[in-house]
Structure 1
Amino acid sequence: MVGQARQAAQAAQIQRIYYDTRGDLLPPNKRQEYTQNLTDLAKKYTHPLGKTGAADHRILFNTGKSGITPISSPPPCLIETDQQKLSRNQLKAYQKTRFRGFTTAELKELNALEPLDFETHKNELTNIDIHPAFRRKRWLTEKDLPKHLGVPPILGGLDGLWEVTNPVVWAVVKPCLQMASMMLMNEYEYGWLDALFRGRLEKFAKDKGKQLLRLHPRTGLEMRTDSAADEIQKFFERKISKKIDLRIDSGYSVMTGMPIVTNPLSGVTYERPLDPGIHVSLSLEMFEPLLRTDLTDAERLGNTWNVAKTLVHEMAHATWRALKRYKPPYAEPYFDDQALSELGFSFINDICGGEPARMLRRPYWSGGPGVPQLGIWSNYWFNSTNAGYTTSAGAPPQNKPVEPDEIDPFYTRDDWVVPTSWHCNMFLNNWWNVGVVKFSREFTHMGPLQHGYRKIDKRAIEAGNIEPRKIRVGEGDGTGLLYSEGPGDRIVISDKLSIANRKAIYAEQKRMVEAGKILFALTKNPGYVGAPNDNTDNGERPPRIQYQCRRWDEIVAYLFANRGPKELALDTMTLLSEPQFYRYIRGRGGINLTGLEFREFLAVANERGILFVWEAHPGRGLVIRRKEGWPPAQDYPLEEIDQPSDEAVELDTLLSDEGTAGVPAKAAIPAKPAENGAPAVPSVPATPAVKAVLGTQGKIFRDFGVNRDVDVKIFWEFLYKEDPTTWDIPLDRLIEVVDESINLGSMYITHGPEGIVRFIYDVPDHVWEAATPFAKTRVADMKKRAGL
């Protein structure tokens, strides 16, 4: 048993190896070599290693399989051996663990798996006008970004960067924007978007002294008494959309340019004090599957739909921010009777009748390029599973009490199987021009939903309150934390509709879906019975990539010749993202490198143990300078300065402010008399809490994260925000002050590449505590490997 536990722990550790699961970032010839032992499905959906949650992939050991292929029963004439029967049952149990209690044979029968849907599905929305908020001019390119941020190159044999001015990128982005436009423009007439603009805001409770708000939709009568839809459309398109810009970035980077998380965000909406406007960033990993040439129509439309859905989700957040209807501390209200504060999921719930969740979850990406979604589950997002995640961090769940003998919907999650033809049919003109017009709101809801899987959080119900993030949904883990009930039958039809309309919608959806007869419903809790005894070896690791750099000598010579301050500043370089470093080289000029050539160089340098330490994943790479391999640095004489200016002195003084860590309050400890030979212990008085003071170094970390480089223009804006009186100076004057401070031997800044200020002080421990746990361990490991 000890050996099995150890092997299971090793398998879980293997899953935390970050790599390109299908060689997507390699040139085509290298990718073919990298994936030669994988099945066709594994080339798209990965050959998973180790363990992901409760799913133990060791059952696929050295098979090159995806674990997705449906398992068929043997023909009646074939008699299985006990071992064959055991293996087949174990594979079924493994699939049930991965797929919410269903085998992939059952999901295929329900027409829910996109790669196994070989029907022809057309995109008829190719002539749709793109909504003004999504048009190409609203998308940022690298030239619009601060100089310390770089746009990732596409790689994988394709040229250029991940920006919409690149024809390769625009070809996959445009259909997503057309679908998002259809979704958004269809919403003007309905209550959710109307509520966002004109709904009633109710102050309904306080939490720890903070006011909570709830947003209520207007009644149908109120909406009919004015030209709300037309006015909202005009206001949205002429005013709101101009306040919002969009960009494509790695979902692992989380706004800082540094890949520092392992589970990427699909999209994020944010504002920054030094970055005016409202920004929506979509993960390039969502777009990456759409670059493939081997997708079925259902896969291509499904992944296009997923991007469109994510964009519309983020537009709910962005629109609310642009309307400025809120005040701190909570950014968003609760919508109507929903238990959690999250407008993006609320908007999608209104459009789709639930949350369309991808079947293949992001942990299967293993920190690398995005993987197709496989299919869609429908669930209701506003339950205990997600209680730890809201846009308004810290806003508590507002679930309603239920009778003791009732199942609490807040602690219940139903995952319903959605046929692929639901999202495929949304790309047909008649879906919108006939179905939506005829049947109104509910026609866009997922359906028909007939088979699903229920999970109930028993401990949450019994204890009344547990840590929501510890709930595992869709993975029976043998702890008794979750149990299932039979799926029952459900179709997505509003109870407010007449019986005739309900029947008409159901009949129309069934006609368009052409789903066929459904033969089964699952009622048992899936449990993985363990990998076969002969496959418990944990030795399978990601395949090794043998990089070659044909231009090694040329690139090394270029770096040596451009290592100085205001060139590439390599002698003071610490941690850079790969796209950031690549932008510095392109900005400096003097060599023409493709993104793939640069990556090959970094890989070879890392392999040889000279010049740089490089990590390719998660995200698009981190680079740090190492000591080995460099010739002695050239001396760069500093300008002698007799008398420092007031601004130079003030700059160093400001940057020296580390702030202070907070100290929690301590209760009084009563005195203890001497007894049984033990001496008396005097009382200790209570001490009040000491509030943390965020000094300049803490504010720099808050705004730029682990990135130690900053565009001098952004630094100028940062200083002005801190002290408008002192730093109300022209940018050219600040550049002079920075030069002066560095010439005086500043302990806090030095020159980066041209136009970049580089911070060189050690980040205080109490400031570093704000970093993500992964960032802390990752940066420490890279510094150790670099000998820093």
Structure 2
Amino acid sequence: MAAPKFTPFAEVYSHPHGGVHKAIAGIVPYKSGLTPLRFLFPTEGTAADIRHVQRLADYQILHLKGFTADQLCILETLAITHEASPSENITLNCVPIHPIFDKPRWLVPLPKHLAQYPLGLDRPGYWSVENDLVWNALKPALQLASQALDNIHTWLWFEALLDPRCYDQIPASELPAGHKTAYFERFKLRSPHLTAPSRGYILQKMTILSQGIQFNIASGVEDGRTEHTWGATDGLTDERQVWQHTICNISYQLLEPLIPPMNGKITPAERAMCQFQIAMTILHEFTHGLWDQLLPHEHKFVQHQMEPYFEDEPMSELGVSMENAVFGGTDTRFTKPTGKGPRGLPPAGIFCSDAFCWPMRRSANMDQPYLVENYNSWWEIKYFPIPITYFINLHNPFFWRAYVKAKGSEALHMGPKTFGSRYMFDQDEGGMERYGDLIYHPECNQEDVIISNSMTIEEQNAVVLENTRRRDAKRVANALVGNHEERQRSEKLVFGSEHHGLFNISDSDSDFDSNDDAAMSHAPSTYKYPRYDPGIGPFYDQVRELLIYHRQELALDSLYFDIAEHMLLEYIHRLDLDIKPEWWRGFLLACERRGKLFKIREVGAPPTSTTLMIKRYDIGWPTDRLPPRGLWETLQASHPDHTKGPYPLIEVFDYGTYKVMDDDKSMFGPPINRIDFDKSSFRFMTNRALKKYAPECGRLEEWEFDACIDFYELRDQKWLFGPPGIIRKSENGWDDSDAGSPVLLDVPSSSSSSEGEDDTWKGEEDDFRDGVEGKVHQGRVTTRADYVQVGSRQEAEYMEQITHPVTAYLDLPPDQRLRGG
């Protein structure tokens, strides 16, 4: 079978398919939809040719925020058409990575219910910084993020975030109905009457807070902790727990274009944009991490998982607020994935879009209200394509040394902006998109800055760079106007009038229904990329027999939920069973073809790597019931009246596990969210809960904890044994009545104990350390028990380390604090 033919653009950006892409379906060579088009005059082609070009232009307008690819090319914002100059080869290779972002911070010792992701597509290794391929792809973005962090004092936004004097409670009069009695905070730029904190103080405080923050590479399309999948996300921050630091997860799909096979196809401009997006995401999640560390120390009146609002912004999303302050808006890819399309493609180009508006509403915490009553821009969004030179300049040390210093807080704002598109939304129709138009930006008409003799050399060089930006903006703006006028002349000759004007949001797939396609070369059918299937060869029966033999150890009979393929493979590897990721993928696809053992659901789409979500399928497994483990019976035989303090063991277990779930419903409580969990960590948290609420019960030893799990597993209720080291929530026994009224011990609500009060609790953290694996990171042993120790030490030492004279201020209730504005 002949290999399919693709246009040069489709080789990089793939050939999308589906209903919204039917304008380019079946055209050979297969198209990406991003190739710039030139409008034809009647003398340059047949009516069919002209309508075909118009049809493709309509498609591009629909998918590129109101622009055609030709217009984006004229604005010098389309990466693949950018011609690099020798001066663009300057990089940040000589810039050290900030210690906050350096490799040890990415070596997170994962709990046993998480695992690293294989690279996939027959590529050896995992998405880990211990893989040189991954580290080398990540490193330039870390250098870029480090430059921003080294200049953090440039942005007063960060100063306000870190200075508790800049916070105030939002009055009830500004809150919408249903939230009047809730406590929310807002922070503002420092008022002039307050003493400015020094640069050293800002950096010192950020460094102290960052000690509790680590980074991890995870998936942007599925949650490795649950059976949940989502459309796509670039990053997600896990809040700190007693068993882990704050963890900023970065999507490996962002790194995908920077490693084989894609990295050999992209241009230097494309690479610079990919690195920018990774750096921006790291800074976004790091901002969430800073707040997660600040919250328990300085904002104890703020409810858990809530974030503050900044000035008049209508949403409480600190990462987006940071992007707006530092970069002048949020970034939107030209190739933003839709539906079930591939993830991990290069962006092709980047729009700077509004941070706070109706389409962005789901990026914030849905439990916090939108303060939109006086926010006039909520019902519109603007997109400005950003020139390639912006991303290139960010990788030039001179830009940071001179331009950032001279330009200040606006130095990193994406731009210059010339033409953009504006979409309006009807608030009376539930946010329905109504219309759009192309708009000018004032930056395309700025005059040159005059260079004076009083300027230093660096200041003069910064002005030269700024004037170059302004002249480029004028030049491309004039070119786009000329292109638009030529298009209008073409449309009048062909259609008798302007087909579109500048931009008409009513364009839809109905515009593509004409059958006048004589000029199109059609393939027999719409092309779809084949699924990655490395095959299993003659080893299918061997793998099947291994799984059946280890059926109880792997808890395969209770696999009632979707689990990611890499996670189940990790469970298999813990039994020292050597199954390579590519064999495992081939085996799972063979199961699907045969209709046995597992059902699968693919997340993502070729040609980039995908994830299979798998669930047990009854056909193909033995039907006999596995023998009981006998742990509960053994305990009953040897200790028929076994108690913990004055209470029966199972009631103490019920009470402790209930308090863990009640303290953090988002992680553990019914309805089921997390299903599998690290058993050592969960027992540790259960013992902490017992120590806090019922210290007279003592602590649950491992054999007692396991016996209680066995008690419920025998009844197929609440708790089951998962694979080695895992406790699993049963799908049964979590109905509302049971969840709302568990067995509760008759203990006073104020019952608690202090450290060292009871010898029963001595060595609890040592026992926790013994139950988890440690990793040696540059000669330092790091386990999840270390997180507990570091967390408590930070709590005790935090105020001593912060030298700025605001510590007494933090002890005051909110209504007695001196406010900064």
The answer to whether the superposition gives a TM-score over 0.5 is: yes
The amino acid that maps onto 2:106 is W
Letter in structure 1 aligned against 2:274: N
Stretch deviating more after TM superposition (276-285 or 86-95): 276-285
Cα 1:284–1:728 change in 2 (3 A) is: farther
Residue in structure 1 matching 2:60, options 70, 95, 119: 95
SS across alignment from 1:520? helix
Name the CA distance, whole Å, in 2 between partners of 1:217 and 1:697.
Answer: 33
Match in the other structure for 1:282: 250
- In the alignment, is the contact (CA less than 8 A) between 1:421 and 1:513 conserved in 2? no
Tell me the equivalent position of 1:217.
189
The answer as to 2:627 corresponding to 1:636 is yes
Question: Are 1:168 and 2:120 counterparts?
Answer: no
- Structure 1 residue 654 displacement after superposition: 6.1
Contact 1:113-1:375 within 8 A present in 2 as well: yes
Structure 1 residue identity aligned to 2:203: Q
1:588 corresponds in structure 2 to 575
Amino acid at match of 2:583: E
SS at structure 2 position matched to 1:246: strand
Q: In the alignment, which residue of structure 1 is the partner of 2:752?
A: none
**Equivalent residue in structure 2 for 1:709, among 676, 680, 696:** 676
In the alignment, the residues of structure 1 paired with residue 713 and residue 603 of structure 2 have an alpha-carbon distance, to the nearest angstrom, of 38
Q: CA deviation at 1:105?
A: 0.8
Aligned to 1:625: 616
Residue of structure 2 aligned with 1:386, choices 338, 341, 360:
360
- Please report how far the alpha carbon of residue 652 of structure 1 lies from its aligned counterpart in structure 2 after TM superposition: 6.9
Aligned position for 2:161: 196
Q: 1:255-654 alignment to 2 at 5 Å?
A: 256-258=224-226, 260-271=228-239, 273=241, 275-291=243-259, 292=262, 293-324=264-295, 325-326=298-299, 327-329=301-303, 331-363=306-338, 366=340, 368-391=342-365, 393-400=367-374, 408-457=376-425, 459-460=426-427, 463=428, 467=430, 470-471=431-432, 481-491=433-443, 506-510=466-470, 518-521=478-481, 523-526=502-505, 527-528=507-508, 529-534=510-515, 540=526, 542-545=528-531, 548-550=535-537, 551-564=539-552, 567-575=553-561, 576-591=563-578, 593-618=579-604, 620-631=611-622, 633=624, 635-636=626-627, 638-639=629-630, 640=633, 641-642=636-637, 643=640, 645-646=642-643, 650-651=649-650
Q: Is the 1:68–1:104 Cα contact (8 Å) retained in structure 2? A: yes
Could you tell me how far 1:178 is from its partner in structure 2?
A: 0.8
SS, match of residue 592 in structure 2: helix
Q: How high is the TM-score relative to the length of structure 2? A: 0.73
**1:129 correspondence with 2:103:** no
The alpha-carbon distance between structure 1 residues 259 and 428, as it changes in their structure 2 partners (threshold 3 A), is: farther
Q: 2:290 and 2:4 mapped to 1: Cα distance?
A: 47
TM-score w.r.t. length of structure 1 = 0.76
In the TM superposition, residue 247 of structure 1 has moved relative to its aligned partner by 0.7
1:627–1:47 Cα change, 3 Å: same
1:699 Cα offset (Å)? 6.9
**Equivalent AA in structure 1 for residue 479 of structure 2:** L
Distance 1:260 1:83, change over 3 A: same
Evaluate the alpha carbon distance shift between residue 696 and residue 505 of structure 1 in structure 2; reply closer, same or farther with a 3 A threshold.
closer
Query: Is the CA contact 1:450–1:490 (under 8 Å) kept in the aligned structure 2?
Result: yes
Counterpart secondary structure, 1:624: strand
1:707-764 Cα shifts (integer Å, max 9, x gaps): 4322211321343355433775255344443465268656333332222223334264
Write the distance in 2 (CA, Å) between the matches of 1:168 and 1:272: 29
Write out per-residue CA displacement over residues 146-165 of structure 1, whole angstroms, 9 at most, x where no aligned residue: 21222211112211121111
RMSD over aligned Cα atoms: 3.8
Decide whether aligned partners of structure 1 residues 221 and 128 sit closer, same or farther in structure 2, where only a CA change above 3 A counts.
farther
Structure 1 pair 652/211, CA: closer, same or farther in 2 (3 Å)? Answer: closer
Find the aligned partners of 2:666 and 2:654 in 1 and give their Cα distance.
10
Q: Secondary structure at 2:557's aligned position in 1?
A: coil
1:747 and 1:520, CA in 2 relative to 1: closer, same or farther beyond 3 A?
closer
Whether the aligned pair in 2 keeps the contact of 1:176 and 1:305 (CA below 8 Å) is yes
Q: Whole-Å Cα distance in 1 between the matches of residues 738 and 236 of structure 2?
A: 23
Partner residue of 1:150?
A: 115
In the alignment, the residues of structure 2 paired with residue 383 and residue 580 of structure 1 have an alpha-carbon distance, to the nearest angstrom, of 37
d(CA) in 1 for partners of 2:167, 2:80: 45
> 2:49 corresponds to which residue?
84
- Cα deviations by residue, 1:356-392 (Å, 9 ceiling, x for unpaired): 322221326x264322111111122122332454247
CA distance in structure 1 between the partners assigned to 2:413 and 2:369 by the alignment: 28
Offset of residue 126 of structure 1: 1.5
- Greater percentage in helix: 2
Quote the Cα distance in structure 2 between the aligned partners of 1:213 and 1:720: 34
> For 2:611 and 2:670, how far apart are their aligned partners in 1?
21
Aligned 8 A contact 1:425 1:512 in 2: no
Q: Which amino acid aligns with 1:235?
A: K
Size of the alignment, in residue pairs? 668
Is residue 184–residue 302 contact of structure 2 (8 Å, CA) maintained in 1? no
Q: Residues 316 and 699 of structure 1: is their aligned pair in 2 closer, same or farther, counting only changes over 3 Å? A: closer
What residue ranges of structure 2 are gaps of 5+ in the alignment?
453-458, 485-501, 605-609, 740-821
Specify whether residues 433 and 44 from structure 1 end up closer, same or farther in structure 2 by C-alpha distance, changes over 3 A only.
same
Whether the 8 Å CA contact 1:150–1:582 is kept in 2: the answer is no
Secondary structure in 2 matching 1:588: coil
Tell me if the contact between 2:254 and 2:278 (Cα under 8 Å) persists in the aligned partners. yes
Following superposition, the deviation at residue 549 of structure 1 comes to 0.7
Aligned residue identity for 2:246:
I
1:263 aligns to what SS in structure 2?
coil
Task: Indicate if the aligned counterparts of 2:167 and 2:186 stay in contact, CA closer than 8 A.
Answer: yes
Contact 1:150/1:583 (<8 A) preserved: yes
* Contact 1:657 1:695 (8 Å CA) reproduced: no
Q: Deviations over 1:56-89 (max 9, x none)?
A: 4344335421111111234x79542222211111
- Cα separation, 1, equivalents of 2:473 and 2:529: 41
Note closer, same or farther for the CA distance 1:186–1:646 as it changes in structure 2 (3 Å cut).
same
